[in-house]
Copies of this chain bind each other. A is one copy, B any other.
Amino acid sequence: MNAVPMVELWRGGRMESRHLGHAVIWHADAGLVESWGNPAEAIFPRSSCKMIQALPLMESGAGAGLRPEQLALACASHQGAALHVGAVQRWLADMGMSESDLRCGAHEPGDRAERDRLICAHEAPCQCHNNCSGKHTGFLTMNRHLKGDAEYVAPDHPLQRAILQAFEEVTGETSPGYGIDGCSAPNFATSVTGLARAMAAFAGAGGGGSARDRAMVALREAMAAHPEYVAGEGRACTELMRAMGGRVAIKTGAEAVFVAIVPERRVGIALKIADGGTRASEAAICALLVRLGVLDPGHPATRKRLDAVQTNWRGLETGLVRLADGFPA
Protein backbone atom coordinates (compact mmCIF):
# COMPACT_ATOMS: atom_id res chain seq x y z
CA MET A 1 0.00 0.00 0.00
CA ASN A 2 2.96 2.36 0.57
CA ALA A 3 1.00 4.41 3.08
CA VAL A 4 3.28 6.77 5.00
CA PRO A 5 3.30 7.69 8.71
CA MET A 6 1.10 10.73 9.22
CA VAL A 7 -0.18 10.94 12.78
CA GLU A 8 0.93 9.50 16.11
CA LEU A 9 -0.40 9.24 19.63
CA TRP A 10 2.29 9.85 22.24
CA ARG A 11 2.09 8.95 25.93
CA GLY A 12 4.71 9.16 28.65
CA GLY A 13 7.31 10.46 26.21
CA ARG A 14 7.00 7.60 23.74
CA MET A 15 4.91 6.75 20.72
CA GLU A 16 1.93 4.59 21.63
CA SER A 17 0.08 4.32 18.30
CA ARG A 18 0.74 5.38 14.72
CA HIS A 19 -1.47 6.01 11.70
CA LEU A 20 -0.34 5.69 8.07
CA GLY A 21 -2.09 7.31 5.15
CA HIS A 22 -2.29 8.69 1.64
CA ALA A 23 -2.93 12.30 0.61
CA VAL A 24 -3.02 14.39 -2.55
CA ILE A 25 -3.22 18.13 -3.11
CA TRP A 26 -4.41 18.91 -6.65
CA HIS A 27 -4.65 22.22 -8.49
CA ALA A 28 -7.66 22.89 -10.75
CA ASP A 29 -5.41 23.96 -13.64
CA ALA A 30 -1.89 22.77 -12.85
CA GLY A 31 -2.75 19.29 -11.56
CA LEU A 32 -0.64 17.59 -8.91
CA VAL A 33 0.75 19.93 -6.25
CA GLU A 34 1.94 17.36 -3.70
CA SER A 35 1.25 13.80 -2.66
CA TRP A 36 2.04 11.45 0.22
CA GLY A 37 1.78 7.68 0.25
CA ASN A 38 0.18 6.17 -2.83
CA PRO A 39 -1.91 8.69 -4.81
CA ALA A 40 -3.26 5.84 -6.98
CA GLU A 41 -4.67 3.93 -3.98
CA ALA A 42 -8.32 3.10 -4.67
CA ILE A 43 -10.48 4.26 -1.79
CA PHE A 44 -14.12 4.63 -0.90
CA PRO A 45 -14.74 8.35 -0.32
CA ARG A 46 -17.70 7.49 1.90
CA SER A 47 -19.42 10.66 3.12
CA SER A 48 -16.60 12.89 1.93
CA CYS A 49 -18.13 12.86 -1.59
CA LYS A 50 -21.61 14.07 -0.66
CA MET A 51 -21.11 17.30 -2.61
CA ILE A 52 -20.42 15.17 -5.68
CA GLN A 53 -23.54 13.12 -5.00
CA ALA A 54 -25.49 16.41 -4.91
CA LEU A 55 -24.31 17.54 -8.36
CA PRO A 56 -27.20 15.94 -10.34
CA LEU A 57 -29.67 17.61 -7.96
CA MET A 58 -28.25 21.03 -8.76
CA GLU A 59 -27.32 20.56 -12.41
CA SER A 60 -30.78 19.26 -13.30
CA GLY A 61 -32.47 22.31 -11.83
CA ALA A 62 -34.36 20.08 -9.38
CA GLY A 63 -32.61 21.84 -6.50
CA ALA A 64 -33.14 25.36 -7.84
CA GLY A 65 -35.51 26.43 -5.09
CA LEU A 66 -33.46 25.06 -2.21
CA ARG A 67 -31.98 27.42 0.38
CA PRO A 68 -28.22 27.31 1.10
CA GLU A 69 -28.94 25.68 4.47
CA GLN A 70 -30.64 22.82 2.62
CA LEU A 71 -27.71 22.46 0.22
CA ALA A 72 -25.35 22.29 3.21
CA LEU A 73 -27.59 19.60 4.71
CA ALA A 74 -27.54 17.65 1.43
CA CYS A 75 -23.72 17.51 1.79
CA ALA A 76 -23.80 16.80 5.53
CA SER A 77 -22.99 14.06 7.97
CA HIS A 78 -24.96 15.79 10.67
CA GLN A 79 -25.30 14.61 14.23
CA GLY A 80 -29.07 14.57 14.45
CA ALA A 81 -29.50 17.69 16.57
CA ALA A 82 -32.91 19.33 16.65
CA LEU A 83 -31.60 21.82 14.08
CA HIS A 84 -30.85 19.06 11.58
CA VAL A 85 -33.85 16.85 12.24
CA GLY A 86 -36.27 19.77 12.07
CA ALA A 87 -34.81 21.02 8.79
CA VAL A 88 -35.04 17.55 7.23
CA GLN A 89 -38.63 17.11 8.43
CA ARG A 90 -39.68 20.49 6.99
CA TRP A 91 -37.92 19.76 3.69
CA LEU A 92 -39.70 16.41 3.40
CA ALA A 93 -43.04 18.06 4.27
CA ASP A 94 -42.44 20.74 1.61
CA MET A 95 -42.38 17.90 -0.93
CA GLY A 96 -45.43 16.20 0.53
CA MET A 97 -43.20 13.41 1.78
CA SER A 98 -42.34 11.99 5.19
CA GLU A 99 -39.67 10.12 7.11
CA SER A 100 -40.93 6.81 5.70
CA ASP A 101 -39.81 7.84 2.21
CA LEU A 102 -36.18 7.82 3.38
CA ARG A 103 -34.03 4.73 2.85
CA CYS A 104 -31.13 5.58 5.17
CA GLY A 105 -32.19 3.70 8.31
CA ALA A 106 -32.33 5.03 11.85
CA HIS A 107 -29.60 5.36 14.47
CA GLU A 108 -29.12 7.10 17.78
CA PRO A 109 -28.08 10.72 17.15
CA GLY A 110 -24.63 11.93 18.11
CA ASP A 111 -26.08 15.16 19.47
CA ARG A 112 -26.27 14.80 23.26
CA ALA A 113 -29.32 16.97 23.83
CA GLU A 114 -31.41 15.22 21.19
CA ARG A 115 -30.13 11.79 22.27
CA ASP A 116 -31.08 12.47 25.88
CA ARG A 117 -34.48 13.85 24.88
CA LEU A 118 -35.26 10.67 22.93
CA ILE A 119 -34.13 8.44 25.80
CA CYS A 120 -36.18 10.24 28.42
CA ALA A 121 -39.24 10.34 26.13
CA HIS A 122 -38.82 6.60 25.43
CA GLU A 123 -38.82 7.59 21.78
CA ALA A 124 -36.88 5.62 19.16
CA PRO A 125 -34.64 7.56 16.79
CA CYS A 126 -36.15 7.87 13.30
CA GLN A 127 -34.53 8.00 9.88
CA CYS A 128 -34.36 11.81 10.11
CA HIS A 129 -31.77 11.31 12.88
CA ASN A 130 -29.51 9.38 10.51
CA ASN A 131 -26.42 11.46 9.81
CA CYS A 132 -27.12 11.08 6.07
CA SER A 133 -30.79 12.12 6.17
CA GLY A 134 -30.03 15.47 4.50
CA LYS A 135 -28.27 13.75 1.63
CA HIS A 136 -31.19 11.37 1.30
CA THR A 137 -33.70 14.20 1.28
CA GLY A 138 -31.65 15.71 -1.52
CA PHE A 139 -31.83 12.32 -3.24
CA LEU A 140 -35.63 12.37 -2.87
CA THR A 141 -35.76 15.89 -4.31
CA MET A 142 -33.82 14.77 -7.37
CA ASN A 143 -35.79 11.53 -7.60
CA ARG A 144 -39.06 13.43 -7.74
CA HIS A 145 -37.63 15.33 -10.71
CA LEU A 146 -36.52 12.06 -12.33
CA LYS A 147 -39.86 10.39 -11.55
CA GLY A 148 -37.83 7.40 -10.39
CA ASP A 149 -39.22 4.59 -8.25
CA ALA A 150 -39.09 4.71 -4.47
CA GLU A 151 -36.00 2.53 -4.07
CA TYR A 152 -33.65 5.34 -4.93
CA VAL A 153 -30.57 3.76 -3.33
CA ALA A 154 -30.51 0.78 -5.70
CA PRO A 155 -27.21 0.95 -7.63
CA ASP A 156 -29.04 0.72 -10.98
CA HIS A 157 -31.63 3.36 -10.09
CA PRO A 158 -31.56 6.37 -12.47
CA LEU A 159 -30.53 8.64 -9.58
CA GLN A 160 -27.49 6.52 -8.74
CA ARG A 161 -26.59 6.19 -12.43
CA ALA A 162 -26.67 9.99 -12.69
CA ILE A 163 -24.47 10.26 -9.60
CA LEU A 164 -22.00 7.73 -11.01
CA GLN A 165 -21.75 9.69 -14.25
CA ALA A 166 -21.05 12.95 -12.40
CA PHE A 167 -18.63 11.14 -10.07
CA GLU A 168 -16.58 9.74 -12.95
CA GLU A 169 -16.57 13.07 -14.76
CA VAL A 170 -15.28 15.09 -11.80
CA THR A 171 -12.80 12.48 -10.58
CA GLY A 172 -11.58 12.01 -14.15
CA GLU A 173 -11.51 8.26 -13.65
CA THR A 174 -13.67 5.25 -14.35
CA SER A 175 -14.79 4.03 -10.94
CA PRO A 176 -13.46 0.51 -10.30
CA GLY A 177 -16.62 -0.41 -8.38
CA TYR A 178 -18.84 0.45 -5.49
CA GLY A 179 -19.61 -0.61 -1.95
CA ILE A 180 -22.79 -0.17 0.05
CA ASP A 181 -22.46 2.68 2.51
CA GLY A 182 -23.78 2.85 6.06
CA CYS A 183 -26.80 4.75 4.73
CA SER A 184 -27.52 2.05 2.08
CA ALA A 185 -26.53 4.18 -0.92
CA PRO A 186 -23.83 2.92 -3.27
CA ASN A 187 -20.47 4.56 -2.65
CA PHE A 188 -18.25 4.63 -5.70
CA ALA A 189 -14.53 3.96 -5.41
CA THR A 190 -11.86 6.19 -6.91
CA SER A 191 -8.20 6.91 -6.33
CA VAL A 192 -6.99 9.46 -3.81
CA THR A 193 -5.92 11.50 -6.83
CA GLY A 194 -9.39 11.17 -8.38
CA LEU A 195 -11.02 12.48 -5.22
CA ALA A 196 -8.52 15.36 -4.97
CA ARG A 197 -9.08 16.18 -8.64
CA ALA A 198 -12.82 16.38 -7.99
CA MET A 199 -12.27 18.70 -5.03
CA ALA A 200 -9.98 20.86 -7.16
CA ALA A 201 -12.78 21.10 -9.76
CA PHE A 202 -15.08 22.41 -7.00
CA ALA A 203 -12.34 24.82 -5.90
CA GLY A 204 -11.73 26.12 -9.41
CA ALA A 205 -15.37 26.53 -10.36
CA GLY A 206 -16.85 30.00 -10.79
CA GLY A 207 -15.42 31.21 -14.06
CA GLY A 208 -17.69 29.31 -16.39
CA GLY A 209 -21.38 29.51 -17.04
CA SER A 210 -22.16 25.81 -17.16
CA ALA A 211 -24.74 24.14 -14.95
CA ARG A 212 -21.92 22.15 -13.34
CA ASP A 213 -19.90 25.28 -12.68
CA ARG A 214 -22.84 26.96 -10.98
CA ALA A 215 -23.72 23.78 -9.05
CA MET A 216 -20.19 23.45 -7.70
CA VAL A 217 -20.08 27.06 -6.54
CA ALA A 218 -23.50 26.81 -4.90
CA LEU A 219 -22.62 23.63 -3.01
CA ARG A 220 -19.17 24.67 -1.79
CA GLU A 221 -20.46 28.09 -0.73
CA ALA A 222 -23.44 26.56 1.10
CA MET A 223 -21.14 24.22 3.04
CA ALA A 224 -18.67 26.94 3.98
CA ALA A 225 -21.41 29.44 4.89
CA HIS A 226 -23.47 27.01 7.01
CA PRO A 227 -20.98 24.74 8.76
CA GLU A 228 -23.46 24.04 11.56
CA TYR A 229 -25.58 22.09 9.07
CA VAL A 230 -22.66 20.05 7.70
CA ALA A 231 -21.83 18.28 11.00
CA GLY A 232 -22.75 19.92 14.33
CA GLU A 233 -21.44 21.53 17.49
CA GLY A 234 -18.09 20.15 18.57
CA ARG A 235 -17.47 18.32 15.31
CA ALA A 236 -14.40 18.76 13.11
CA CYS A 237 -16.11 19.91 9.89
CA THR A 238 -18.18 22.51 11.68
CA GLU A 239 -15.44 23.86 13.94
CA LEU A 240 -12.72 23.94 11.28
CA MET A 241 -14.91 25.58 8.62
CA ARG A 242 -15.84 28.22 11.19
CA ALA A 243 -12.15 28.68 12.01
CA MET A 244 -11.50 29.36 8.32
CA GLY A 245 -14.28 31.93 8.19
CA GLY A 246 -16.25 30.50 5.29
CA ARG A 247 -13.30 30.52 2.88
CA VAL A 248 -12.92 26.74 2.67
CA ALA A 249 -15.33 23.80 2.49
CA ILE A 250 -14.23 20.54 4.11
CA LYS A 251 -15.90 17.19 4.62
CA THR A 252 -15.10 14.03 6.53
CA GLY A 253 -15.99 10.50 5.51
CA ALA A 254 -16.15 7.25 7.46
CA GLU A 255 -12.98 5.15 7.68
CA ALA A 256 -10.88 8.30 7.96
CA VAL A 257 -11.31 10.07 4.65
CA PHE A 258 -11.14 13.88 4.60
CA VAL A 259 -11.42 16.33 1.71
CA ALA A 260 -11.08 20.08 1.36
CA ILE A 261 -12.08 22.61 -1.30
CA VAL A 262 -9.88 25.74 -1.21
CA PRO A 263 -11.22 28.20 -3.81
CA GLU A 264 -8.70 30.97 -3.09
CA ARG A 265 -5.88 28.58 -3.99
CA ARG A 266 -7.87 26.72 -6.64
CA VAL A 267 -6.83 23.44 -4.98
CA GLY A 268 -8.55 20.39 -3.63
CA ILE A 269 -7.26 17.98 -0.99
CA ALA A 270 -8.11 14.34 -0.43
CA LEU A 271 -6.66 12.08 2.23
CA LYS A 272 -7.29 8.62 3.60
CA ILE A 273 -5.84 7.11 6.77
CA ALA A 274 -5.22 3.48 5.91
CA ASP A 275 -6.54 2.06 9.17
CA GLY A 276 -9.73 4.14 9.26
CA GLY A 277 -8.79 6.09 12.43
CA THR A 278 -10.72 9.35 12.49
CA ARG A 279 -8.50 11.14 15.01
CA ALA A 280 -5.71 10.83 12.45
CA SER A 281 -7.70 12.05 9.44
CA GLU A 282 -8.76 15.10 11.47
CA ALA A 283 -5.18 15.86 12.48
CA ALA A 284 -3.89 15.30 8.94
CA ILE A 285 -6.43 17.57 7.24
CA CYS A 286 -5.57 20.27 9.78
CA ALA A 287 -1.90 19.88 8.90
CA LEU A 288 -2.55 20.24 5.18
CA LEU A 289 -4.86 23.23 5.62
CA VAL A 290 -2.22 24.89 7.81
CA ARG A 291 0.37 24.09 5.14
CA LEU A 292 -1.79 25.82 2.53
CA GLY A 293 -2.02 28.87 4.78
CA VAL A 294 -5.80 28.80 5.18
CA LEU A 295 -6.05 27.45 8.75
CA ASP A 296 -4.49 29.11 11.80
CA PRO A 297 -2.40 26.49 13.65
CA GLY A 298 -3.08 28.34 16.89
CA HIS A 299 -6.88 28.37 16.55
CA PRO A 300 -8.60 26.34 19.28
CA ALA A 301 -10.37 24.22 16.64
CA THR A 302 -6.97 23.30 15.21
CA ARG A 303 -5.30 22.74 18.58
CA LYS A 304 -8.09 20.38 19.54
CA ARG A 305 -6.97 18.05 16.71
CA LEU A 306 -3.33 18.83 15.86
CA ASP A 307 -0.69 18.70 18.58
CA ALA A 308 -3.77 17.99 20.66
CA VAL A 309 -3.11 17.36 24.33
CA GLN A 310 -5.12 14.38 25.56
CA THR A 311 -6.58 14.61 29.05
CA ASN A 312 -8.25 11.95 31.13
CA TRP A 313 -11.40 11.85 33.28
CA ARG A 314 -9.69 13.83 36.01
CA GLY A 315 -8.29 16.40 33.61
CA LEU A 316 -4.72 15.11 33.83
CA GLU A 317 -2.59 15.32 30.70
CA THR A 318 -2.02 11.82 29.38
CA GLY A 319 -0.79 12.20 25.84
CA LEU A 320 -0.53 14.09 22.60
CA VAL A 321 -1.86 13.54 19.07
CA ARG A 322 0.93 14.85 16.83
CA LEU A 323 2.22 14.61 13.30
CA ALA A 324 4.70 11.90 12.40
CA ASP A 325 8.19 13.09 11.49
CA GLY A 326 8.26 13.96 7.82
CA PHE A 327 4.56 14.72 7.46
CA PRO A 328 3.61 16.90 5.84
CA ALA A 329 7.21 18.06 5.36
Which residues on A are within 8 Å of B, measured CB to CB? 1, 9, 11-14, 16-20, 42-44, 103-107, 116, 119-120, 130, 176-184, 187, 189, 255-256, 274-277, 280, 312-319
User: What residues of chain B lie closer than 8 Å to A20, measured between beta carbons?
Assistant: 20, 275
User: What residues of chain B lie closer than 8 Å to A43, measured between beta carbons?
Assistant: 16
> Which of A16, A130, A189 has the most chain B CB within a 10 Å cutoff?
A16
User: What residues of chain B lie closer than 8 Å to A275, measured between beta carbons?
Assistant: 17-20, 275, 277, 280
User: What residues of chain B lie closer than 8 Å to A177, measured between beta carbons?
Assistant: 12-14
A178–B44 Cα gap in the complex (Å)? 38
Is A182 touching B120 in the complex (CB atoms < 8 A)? Answer: no
Q: List 13 A-B contacts (CB under 8 A).
A: A1-B18, A9-B276, A11-B179, A11-B187, A12-B44, A14-B177, A16-B255, A17-B256, A19-B275, A104-B314, A119-B120, A180-B316, A180-B318
User: What residues of chain B lie closer than 8 Å to A313, measured between beta carbons?
Assistant: 104-107, 130, 182-184
CB distance from A173 to the nearest CB of B (A): 15
Shortest 3 CB-CB distances between A and B: which pairs? A105-B313, A12-B179, A11-B179
Q: Which chain B residue lies CB-closest to A177?
A: B12
Among B11, B107, B276, contact of A180 (Cβ-Cβ < 8 Å):
B11
A312–B103 Cα gap in the complex (Å)? 11
User: What residues of chain B lie closer than 8 Å to A42, measured between beta carbons?
Assistant: 14
Is A318 touching B274 in the complex (CB atoms < 8 A)? Answer: no
Is A179 touching B319 in the complex (CB atoms < 8 A)? Answer: yes
A17–B46 Cα gap in the complex (Å)? 12
> Which of A1, A9, A20, A314 has the most chain B CB within a 10 Å cutoff?
A314
Q: Which chain B residue lies CB-closest to A131?
A: B313
A103–B14 Cα gap in the complex (Å)? 24
Is A16 touching B179 in the complex (CB atoms < 8 A)? Answer: yes
A266–B177 Cα gap in the complex (Å)? 47
Is A105 touching B314 in the complex (CB atoms < 8 A)? Answer: yes
CB distance from A135 to the nearest CB of B (A): 14
User: What residues of chain B lie closer than 8 Å to A317, measured between beta carbons?
Assistant: 180
Is A178 touching B9 in the complex (CB atoms < 8 A)? Answer: no
> Which of A19, A177, A315, A318 has the most chain B CB within a 10 Å cutoff?
A318
CB distance from A43 to the nearest CB of B (A): 7
Is B181 touching A312 in the complex (CB atoms < 8 A)? Answer: yes
A171–B206 Cα gap in the complex (Å)? 63
Q: Which chain B residue lies CB-closest to A106?
A: B313
A315–B106 Cα gap in the complex (Å)? 11
CB distance from A4 to the nearest CB of B (A): 13
User: What residues of chain B lie closer than 8 Å to A17, measured between beta carbons?
Assistant: 255-256, 274-276
